[in-house]
């Protein structure tokens, strides 16, 4: 993966940084809030619950596996 990133010469860096920033929790919560208030309350509740469960399971799995990132 690092080889691909280095071979691109920084061409895709800004694009991937934008994708990373889009995954920021504040942006996701804002979008779920807009969905809840402006479109469908049940769907907003479902999205919020799904995100919360996924974050809990992800944290639990990381703590259980104890595999550290390089």
What pLDDT shows up at residue 70? 62
The pTM of the whole model exceeds 0.85: no
The yes-or-no verdict on residue 25 having pLDDT over 80 is yes
12 Cβ partners below 8 Å, 6+ apart?
5
What pLDDT shows up at residue 10? 77
pLDDT digits (tens, 9 = 90+) for 32-46: 999 999 999 999 999
Q: Across residues 40-58, what is the average pLDDT?
A: 94
For residue 23, give the 3-state DSSP assignment.
Answer: coil
Phi-psi region of 68 (alpha: psi -120 to 50; beta: other; left: phi over 0): beta
What pLDDT shows up at residue 7? 81
């Amino acid at each position: 993966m690092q080889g691909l990133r280095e071979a691109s010469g920084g061409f895709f860096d800004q694009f991937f940084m934008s994708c990373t920033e889009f995954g920021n929790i504040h942006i996701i919560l804002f979008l779920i809030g807009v969905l809840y208030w402006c479109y469908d309350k049940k769907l907003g509740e479902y999205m919020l619950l799904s995100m919360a469960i996924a974050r809990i399971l992800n944290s639990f799995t990381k703590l259980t596996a104890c595999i550290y990132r390089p």
